[in-house]
Amino acid sequence: MPNTPGRRDVLKYAGTTGAAAAGLGLLHTPAATAVPAPDADSSRKTVREPLDIVVFGDAGSESAHQLAATLSDTVTGGLGQSARVLNPGDPAAYWGGTLTFDVAVSPTGTAHDAPELRAQMVRITKARGRFRVVDVDETGARVSRIETVVGWRNEVYPGEIAYASRTAWDSHPVLSAAVFKDPDIVGWTQEMVADGQFYKQLDLLIHHTWTRVGLAALRLVSRDWDAYQAFPGRPARIPTAWDEPDFVFADEENGCLALKNGRELLFVSLYWRARQGVNDYARVHHLTPTDQRSATVRQRSAGTTGDTFTARDWVLWDYAINDPGAGHIPPGGFPPPGDPLHQSQAGDVYHLAPVPADVPDPALGVHFDGVETMLVGRAPFYLCRYGDYLIAMNTSTDRTFTLPARPDFGPARDLAGGRTIGAGQRPRIGPLSTLVLHRGARGDG
């Protein structure tokens, strides 16, 4: 392929194998530990027991594994499980507490064929590909970035470069293509190289001294780069580019969606920053080839319980951290210096969503005032309107909701099915399903 770097180029720019090799030394097989032999019948699928288990916070297990800790405390969580907390130094710096320990490893026989897990990881990677913004970088070159505007946290704008995989402590840009060999993921990765965005993502691998990052670099130069170069050209490209087909992708479990409608992209998080109850706020990012709009909008919800949470007068953040070791941090964070500031939403009452029966304690045993709590803020049903779009999402697994009449919105097209639904029609929205209506002509930006 044109613009494809050679192996020598990658070694030149990501020459961190020394750090990675040092990282590998953290795990070794103690002399007294016997490594089980591989099965004689390799054709028979077997279930292997773990080679070794370290139970953090358990004195016997830690002693048996020669665990040494600095700046660390042992704690017991709400479910009775022991754990360790790594604390900051004094003064606090980037590095804090550390743990070192011995654990048994085996050079062979530890890989398991799990096609269901592999298929799910490929689906996850492709789902993430629907949340990409194709843009231009600071040099004017084409680039694909992570959609961050509708995120709960780390909403840096513009988002980091990402096509299929992105560079991180444990990842590099061609990792998912080399490992999964999926044609679409390979095509997206080849698109990244053709756009000239490969080298720009190597800075972390080159300059970070942590052995964990070095191990990711080692995987790139010793295993994955050669595998990637061996792939034939694939036609698949990032699905949010303007010349790609329209789509509607909804994730009801996480309360978010992405769609392409002609020359418009719309990313929406309906279940957004709702940590203690259903707040009826949605986060929206609307894009055309010429502009972008970011909005936090009011929406409607249904199916909540009679239990409520009243928003506190907290301004640094609006929740208590769900961590048993965070008891020294006031709920809502430390008050900022200067004149008193107040939360404009203090006093708002949020109804709690029903929690599945298999979640016995959505607060995970941490019950500080206002603690962030799983699922209580995800409404069973959302109805969100933004511009010419109307979104009805059912996040429940066992309920059906009826779309209310919409005389002020008028007739609109079902973007997924293509049919026109009149303003007085009231279609039923089944479990884990979403209806997106758009009024007017196909989005033209």
Q: What is the pLDDT of residue 110?
A: 63
Domain 252-438 annotated CATH 2.30.130.10:
no
Q: What is the pLDDT of residue 107?
A: 72
Residue 98: how many CA atoms within 13 Å on its side-chain side? Answer: 7
Burial 23-53 (b: 16+ CB within 10 A, else e): beeeeebeeeeeeeeeeeeeeeeeeeeeebe
Query: Both tokens of residue 119?
Result: 């298929």
The strand pairing partners of 356, in sequence order, are none
Q: What is the pLDDT along the chain (445 residues), one digit of tens a residue?
A: 545 565 455 544 444 333 333 333 333 333 333 333 444 444 455 566 788 999 999 999 999 999 999 999 999 987 889 999 999 888 887 788 999 999 988 877 666 778 899 999 999 999 999 999 999 999 999 999 999 999 998 788 999 999 999 999 999 999 999 999 999 999 999 999 999 999 999 999 999 988 899 999 999 999 999 999 999 999 999 999 999 999 999 999 999 999 999 999 999 999 999 999 999 999 999 999 999 999 999 999 999 999 999 999 999 999 999 988 888 899 999 988 999 999 999 999 999 999 998 998 999 999 999 999 999 999 999 999 999 999 999 999 999 999 999 999 999 999 999 999 999 999 999 999 999 999 987 766 6
Burial 161-194 (b: 16+ CB within 10 A, else e): bbbbbbbeeebbbbbbbbbbebebbbbbbbbbbb
Burial 287-326 (b: 16+ CB within 10 A, else e): beeeeeeeeeeebebebbeeeebebbebbeebbbbbbbbe
Residue 140: how many CA atoms within 13 Å on its side-chain side? Answer: 0
Domain boundaries, the chain: 59-100, 114-229, 252-438
The pTM is what? 0.79
